[in-house]
């Protein structure tokens, strides 16, 4: 689900945007003004929310980017396998959620974690 659409010159560090169909968090943005009849250019460095992949793009200042809706929820770990089984602490439903291997090693059963729902994909982000 898309929250809104913004121009490249309106982006700031920490903003979530969609690049090539995947959600990214902007870490750094440099905006340069070009010559007399040129357009502003934006150099955007972003890290993937779901994959931790780094991406650097250069876009015209008037290019528009979609801002995804990110829902942050808390859950309790029920079991750990290939995916983590969580019970949502608000609705008490049981869901299967992806998790990074490095974070999975620090989590044990009955721990509380924060998981994000981004564009229909759910991923564990941190231990609470």
70-127 topology per CATH: OB fold (Dihydrolipoamide Acetyltransferase, E2P) (2.40.50)
CATH 2.30.30.30 domain extents, the chain: 2-68
How many alpha carbons fall within 13 Å on the CB side of residue 85?
6
In percent, the amount of the chain with pLDDT more than 90 equals 70
Edge-to-edge strand list for the sheet holding 70-80: 94-97, 84-88, 70-80, 112-118, 121-127
Q: Is 79's pLDDT higher than 80?
A: yes
| Mean of pLDDT values over 81-110 | 90
* Residue 8 CB neighbour total at 10 angstroms: 22
CATH classification (class only), 2-68 = mainly beta
Q: Quote the pTM value.
A: 0.83
Whole-Å CA distances, 36 to 12, 13, 73: 25, 28, 48
User: Regarding beta strands 41-48 and 22-32, do their DSSP bridges make them parallel or antiparallel, or are they unpaired?
Assistant: antiparallel
Q: Which of 2, 55, 3 is CA-nearest to residue 29?
A: 55
Using only C-alpha atoms, the chain has a radius of gyration, in whole angstroms, of: 18
CATH 2.40.50.140 domain extents, the chain: 70-127
**Structure confidence by residue, pLDDT tens digits, 19-68:** 999 999 999 999 998 877 788 899 999 999 988 899 999 999 899 999 99
For all residues of the chain together, what is the average pLDDT?
Answer: 91
**Structure confidence by residue, pLDDT tens digits, 85-97:** 999 999 999 999 9
The more confident residue out of 1 and 67 is 67
């Amino acid at each position: 689900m898309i929250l809104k659409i913004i121009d490249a010159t309106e982006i700031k560090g920490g903003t979530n945007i969609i690049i090539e169909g995947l959600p990214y968090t902007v870490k750094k943005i440099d905006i340069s003004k070009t010559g007399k009849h040129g357009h502003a250019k934006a150099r955007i460095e972003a890290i993937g929310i779901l994959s931790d992949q780094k991406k650097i793009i250069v876009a015209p200042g008037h290019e528009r980017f979609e801002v995804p809706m990110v829902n942050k929820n808390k859950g309790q770990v029920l079991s750990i396998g290939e995916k983590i089984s969580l019970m949502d602490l608000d609705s008490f439903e049981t869901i299967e959620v992806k998790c990074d291997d490095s974070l999975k090693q620090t989590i044990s059963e009955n721990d509380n974690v924060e998981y994000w729902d981004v564009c229909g994909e759910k991923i564990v982000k941190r231990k609470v």
